[in-house]
Amino acid sequence: MIAQVVGFDKDLVLPSILVAFSVLAGYVAIQSIYYFYFHPLASLPGPFFARITDLYGGYHAWTGRHHYHLYELHKKYGPVIRYGPNRVSFNSATAVKDIYGATKPLRKSAGYRALLLSGNVFSLFTSIDKSFHGKRRRIMSHGFSDAALRSYEPIVQERIDKFLEILTKEAGADGWGASKNMSRLCAGLTFDVMGALVFGQPFKILEDESGLSYVIDAIISASRSVGVMVHLPVFGKNNILFKIRGLFRLLFLSLKDLKNIKAFLALSAKLTRERTAQEAAKTAGEDIVKAQGVPNKDILGWILAATDPETGEHLSLSDVWGEARVLIIAGSDTTSTSLSGALYYLSRNPVILNKLRTELRTTFSSEDEIWPGQKINSCSYLKHVIEEALRMSSPVGGILWREAAVDHVVQGVTIPAGTDCGVPVYSIHHHTDYFHDPHVFNPDRWDENIVGAEAVAAAKSAWIPFQIGSRGCIGRPLANMELTLTLARIIYSFEIRVDESKRGVGQADVIPGHTEFETKDQLTAETTGPFLQFKKIEA
């Protein structure tokens, strides 16, 4: 009866479905044939499904192992592979310069729009427009100047003090502390440091791991979901899909994840408002006590005081909040990965560990002397250990995609306008053309006196943990300061041993015979372990 009223003929249902399916199948077939045989990138080698759909890259990003997968693909297909219908992966130092060089006609891939929380409020990291990025970077650079970094030193050292206290907590009669998951503990340190440097107050995760530790969990889960979407550029290029990207993220998030992310966003918004109000009170000339005595000794203090070099305007509250969120994520998760990686390799290489400790104890008469300055800068082996840790355990192991604004030649290959290209960090960091025995942790590879200037120059040309060019990491000096001070103070003052009951946690056999510190590459790296014990070295 109802079918008759609305003119619905049930006999047409099946034929209609078949017609719709046939049209869809025909469209997919025609598009696949075009991608495979007639597309400008058709001649480039690569996996079959990668050449016809971005879902291939999205799937491997979801597994967290796409950086290892790219490494295997480049071993199979060579230095240039097609990793999507409109995406090309290169594995050479030449490509690094051709793609990421400051003057090259490429911009950040539209896929990074998927990172936006609302509308088109871009941050320094998510911005695609090169002009916008240049203006925003000039404002943000005030928070990373030499003067700013010097003002951060006591804050960083205070958090390291607390971190070192925990290492021998619950020590037994033999002086060895309880086993520690260094990925989690290092994350607590770096998130605390960034909380103090961004908002003027640490999260105090080190004091109470059960308190604000959801901040760490929130960022890990959020990175996992948006990391997949970056590999599906259609969400950035198609306005309809862009508007519903939040629904797609739900596929990769549990209710607990959503709760943690919501809590982190609320906390960061609250702290941003409070910090902005404090600066406004000081600017208005109110009593310093009413302004809670907050000096320009944190990053937001410097940024809030800075103005656009062209308009003279300050950042809006929404802009400040956006930058604050990114600073917490980029400045915390990335540094903790490299620090955990360094401790993993040092704990398993006693010769390297002892050589580093000898250098530090020869240079400094006490741990209290370990501060930024000429002495620590003279510790060349410490520098090489950190360089090697950043190579082996780079915070980003996959590709930071760039879109060609015009037809552009990369390593002799013409990349059509609108096409994404990039260099997978893990792959080039383990390329035998630049690194001898690339799966071996060897700080000496950075010493010209041992391997020669030519070998070091080749290694540096392929070393990109912080990227290069105008998009290079603005927080690199701060990350170096954290890594240098923390690692130096640990090695100077503590013996280290592996918790043998958990030796295999956080390890991966990427190639037979070589065990590495495992990183799950999402938007940033996710790690577990190493589980280590520490014992204070008596003076």
Q: What is the mean pLDDT of residues 317-341?
A: 88
Please state the φ and ψ torsions of residue 497, each to the nearest 5 degrees: -145, 155
Q: What is the pLDDT of residue 16?
A: 59
Q: Is 257 helix (H, G, I), strand (E, B) or coil?
A: helix
Cα 108 to Cα 467: distance, rounded to the nearest angstrom: 13
Closest by CA to 133, choosing from 523, 539, 401, 469, is: 469
Is 239 a residue whose pLDDT tops 60? yes
Separation between Cα atoms, residue 81 and residue 50, nearest integer Å: 10
pLDDT in tens, 56-95: 999 999 999 999 999 999 999 999 999 999 999 999 999 9
pLDDT on residue 291: 40
- Token readout for 445 is 């590879």
Q: Residues in the chain, how many?
A: 539
pLDDT band at 319 (very low <50, low <70, confident <90, very high): confident
Buried b (16+ CB within 10 A) or exposed e, 499-508: beeeeeebbe
Residue type, 350: P
Q: Beta strands 87-90 and 420-422: pairing type? A: parallel
Mean pLDDT of 426-430: 98
* Cβ count near 75 (within 10 Å): 13
Closest CA relative to residue 133, chosen from 106, 164, 172: 106
Q: Give the span between the Cα atoms of 225 and 73, in whole angstroms.
A: 24
Alpha-carbon Rg of the chain, whole angstroms?
25
279: pLDDT strictly greater than 80: no
User: Distance of CA 170 to CAs 162, 173, 215, 501, Å?
Assistant: 15, 10, 25, 18
Run of H or E including 524: none
Is 421 annotated among the ligand-binding residues?
A: no
Q: What is the pLDDT of residues 119-142, one digit of tens each?
A: 667 888 888 888 888 888 888 898
pLDDT of residue 194: 93
Structure tokens at 3: 């079918």
CB 331 within 8 A of CB 194: yes
Which pLDDT belongs to residue 426?
Answer: 97
Q: What is the predicted pLDDT for the residue at 73?
A: 97
Q: How much is the average pLDDT of 349-354?
A: 98
d(CA 439, CA 116): 36
Region 129-395+429-536: CATH code: 1.10.630.10
The yes-or-no verdict on residue 23 having pLDDT over 70 is no
Can you read off the two tokens belonging to residue 261?
């992310």
Q: What are phi and psi of 182, to 5 degrees?
A: -70, -25
What 8-state DSSP symbol labels residue 176?
A: B
How does DSSP assign 75-136, residue by residue?
HHH-SEEEEETTEEEE-SHHHHHHHHSTTSSEEE-GGGGGG-SSTT---TTT---HHHHHHH
- The listed range with the strongest mean pLDDT (231-235, 279-283, 296-300, 441-445) is 441-445
Residue 410: pLDDT above 60? Answer: yes
Q: Which residue has the higher pLDDT, 48 or 214?
A: 48
- Residue 85 to residues 54, 136, 248, 425, Cα–Cα distance (Å): 7, 32, 21, 21
Query: Token match 């020669």: residue?
Result: 452
> 283 pLDDT exceeds 80?
no
Q: What is the pLDDT of residue 522?
A: 82
Per-residue pLDDT at 430? 98
What pLDDT sits at residue 287? 43
9 pLDDT higher than 70: no
Sign of the Cα torsion 54, 59, 65, 69 reads negative
Q: List, for residues 480-537, the tens digit of each pLDDT value.
A: 999 999 999 999 999 999 999 999 998 888 777 788 999 998 888 889 999 999 999 9
Q: Is 36 helix (H, G, I), strand (E, B) or coil?
A: helix
**Cα–Cα distance for residue pair 122/113, rounded to 1 Å:** 8
Q: 3 pLDDT exceeds 50?
A: no
Phi then psi for residue 371, to 5 deg, are: -135, 160
Query: Which pLDDT does position 374 carry in this prediction?
Result: 95
- Among 10, 238, 442, 59, which Cα is nearest to 69's? 59
**Separation of alpha carbons 2 and 56, rounded Å:** 45
Task: Give the integer Cα–Cα distance in Å for 326 and 332.
Answer: 10
- Average pLDDT score over the chain: 87
CA–CA separation, 196 and 212 (whole Å)? 14
User: What's residue 1's pLDDT?
Assistant: 45
Query: Which range is least confidently modeled, 176-185, 324-333, 462-471?
Result: 324-333
Question: For residue 138, what pLDDT is reported?
Answer: 87
For residue 422, the model assigns a pLDDT of 97
Distance (Å, rounded) from C-alpha 416 to C-alpha 433?
A: 28
Whether residue 153 has pLDDT greater than 90 = yes
